[in-house]
């Protein structure tokens, strides 16, 4: 398949192969799960405000729907590839199963640098992409959500376009919508909060008390990074190192997270020019002398060289696939020094609240923010401890344990359903 040569897809497949070996997975199930079910490739033409037409490469990859409809975000980024989206769709399958949600795995992406386009251009792009996908998505089939470069407004345009084409309102076609059209309270904050919940649980497991001396370094200060930062500062830790695509900053006294967020809102979403810290490189943020490291930007950020230099005690992987296979090998060797909460577990808060949103929408009964956060915390803590249990049982690394738990649930469902025809 087209995705076979993509490094991110190869990484997802190699991880899967290693885990299926360790867990002695049924060979017929393994051969099926190595590849996504289906990929939709679209050339999306968009009329720009100046009258020109630009064409964008866009994808939706559906990895597996054995346990329920395909579920996964849509990413707008300048370097999106089919292989990356395919890898992310596979990780979504394991993540949903690991969290025991009745959902499968999918992912979408459009190759575009969204900050360079106007609101109207992004709206036209989103609507055309949705109309091309109308036969393949839906509340019982495939339910997109926000990811890097997309947000509740973009979900609202998807929901509206899909509804216009169907002839009636279909809020359940996406999650991560604004609350005015059936979104869930707490969805925007969910991934970052979830990262913090699992890291707090990891600290408990390590008998490490999080307090005023705890330093947190965060790579990527977007949705996930900023909400993780808010939660960590709420429990008393100091956010000392932050970065985004424009560079890094350090402030050993701790950043005022709310102030950083307000600055970024006024500054086209970037940290550039923020003066309450000293400028450092993006790499220095990753390798900072901080107790907790949250990679919350993009994939393949921690390679073997960076992994060897890390100085943290706990990593909570907010991003998807932030650690390369080679980087992970080093982290495995350093397991006694650094505890890794792997991406499929750490960042599953988003899809968990997406699931709550889908359930609330189907029942037309909406929960309070307090209820959402309480349920999210319960689900994240339960999943963390289930993974820890598998880790102890099989004497394996946390990432392997998380994948064993997710893959095993998908495999059992596949074996129960059997192969059609």
As annotated, the active-site residues are 107
Is 117 in contact with 149 (CB distance < 8 Å)? no
The structure tokens 């679209």 sit at: 42
Closest CA to 43 of 98, 125, 155: 125
Q: Which one, 29 or 318, has the nearer CB to ligand NAD?
A: 318
The answer to the question of residue 146 lying near ligand NAD (CB under 6 A) is yes
Is 96 in contact with 67 (CB distance < 8 Å)? yes
The answer to the question of residue 58 lying near ligand NAD (CB under 6 A) is no
Binding mask 349-368 for ligand NAD (x = CB under 6 A): -x------------------
Closest distance between ligand NAD and the C-beta of residue 21, in Å? Answer: 27
Q: 153, 282, 300, 377: which one contacts ligand NAD (CB under 6 A)?
A: 282
Closest distance between ligand NAD and the C-beta of residue 218, in Å? Answer: 9
Q: Which one, 32 or 247, has the nearer CB to ligand NAD?
A: 247
* Chain residue whose CB lies nearest ligand NAD: 222
Closest distance between ligand NAD and the C-beta of residue 27, in Å? Answer: 31
The answer to the question of residue 223 lying near ligand NAD (CB under 6 A) is yes
The answer to the question of residue 8 lying near ligand NAD (CB under 6 A) is no
Which phi and psi (to 5°) does residue 296 adopt?
-135, 35
First to last CA, the chain: 23
CA angle, 415 then 417 then 419, to 5°:
80
Q: How far apart are CA 361 and CA 323, in angstroms?
A: 35
Is 91 in contact with 343 (CB distance < 8 Å)? yes
Give the residue ranges of DSSP H helices in 235-348.
Answer: 257-266, 282-286, 304-309, 325-333, 343-346
Closest distance between ligand NAD and the C-beta of residue 269, in Å? Answer: 7
Q: Which residue spans within 36-148 are E strands per DSSP?
A: 38-47, 53-64, 70-77, 105-111, 142-146
Q: Which one, 66 or 347, has the nearer CB to ligand NAD?
A: 347
User: Which one of 58-66, 119-127, 142-150, 200-208 is the stretch in contact with ligand NAD (CB under 6 A)?
Assistant: 142-150
Q: Which one, 29 or 345, has the nearer CB to ligand NAD?
A: 345
Footprint on this chain of ligand NAD (rule: CB under 6 A): 146-149, 191, 219-225, 243-245, 282, 296-298, 318-320, 347, 350
């Amino acid at each position: 398949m087209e995705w076979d040569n993509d490094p991110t897809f190869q990484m997802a497949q190699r991880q899967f192969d290693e885990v299926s070996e360790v867990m002695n997975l049924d060979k017929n199930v393994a051969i099926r799960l190595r590849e996504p079910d289906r990929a939709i490739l679209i050339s999306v033409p968009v009329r720009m405000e100046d009258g020109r037409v630009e064409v964008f490469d866009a994808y939706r990859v559906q990895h597996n729907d054995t346990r329920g409809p395909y579920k996964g975000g849509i990413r707008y980024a300048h370097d999106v590839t089919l292989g990356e989206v395919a890898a992310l769709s596979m990780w979504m399958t394991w993540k949903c199963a690991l969290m025991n949600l009745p959902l499968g795995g999918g992912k979408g992406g459009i190759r575009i640098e969204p900050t360079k386009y106007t609101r109207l251009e992004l709206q036209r792009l989103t609507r055309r992409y949705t109309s091309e996908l109308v036969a393949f998505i839906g509340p019982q089939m495939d339910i997109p959500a926000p990811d890097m470069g997309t947000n509740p407004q973009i979900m609202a345009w998807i929901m509206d376009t899909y509804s216009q084409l169907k002839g009636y309102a279909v809020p359940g076609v996406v999650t991560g919508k604004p609350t005015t059209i059936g979104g869930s309270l707490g969805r925007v904050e969910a991934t970052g909060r979830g990262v913090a919940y699992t890291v707090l649980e990891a600290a408990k497991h390590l008998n490490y008390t999080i307090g005023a001396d705890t330093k947190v370094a965060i790579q990527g200060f977007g949705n996930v990074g900023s909400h993780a930062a808010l939660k960590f500062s709420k429990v008393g830790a100091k956010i000392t190192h932050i970065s985004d695509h424009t560079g890094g900053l350090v402030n050993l006294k701790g950043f005022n997270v709310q102030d950083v967020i307000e600055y970024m809102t006024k500054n086209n979403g970037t940290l550039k020019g923020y003066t309450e810290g000293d400028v450092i490189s993006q790499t220095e943020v990753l390798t900072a002398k901080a107790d907790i490291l949250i990679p919350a930007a993009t994939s393949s950020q921690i390679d073997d060289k960076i992994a060897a230099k890390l100085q943290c005690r706990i990593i909570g992987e907010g991003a998807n696939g932030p650690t390369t296979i080679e980087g992970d090998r080093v982290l495995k060797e350093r397991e006694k020094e650094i505890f890794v909460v792997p991406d499929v577990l750490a960042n599953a808060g988003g899809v968990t609240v997406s699931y709550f949103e889908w359930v609330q929408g189907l029942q037309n009964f909406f929960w309070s923010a307090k209820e959402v956060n309480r349920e999210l915390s319960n689900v994240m803590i339960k999943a963390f401890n289930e993974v820890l249990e598998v880790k102890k049982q099989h004497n394996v690394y946390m990432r392997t344990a998380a994948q064993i738990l997710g893959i095993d649930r998908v495999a059992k469902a596949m074996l129960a359903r059997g192969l059609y025809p």
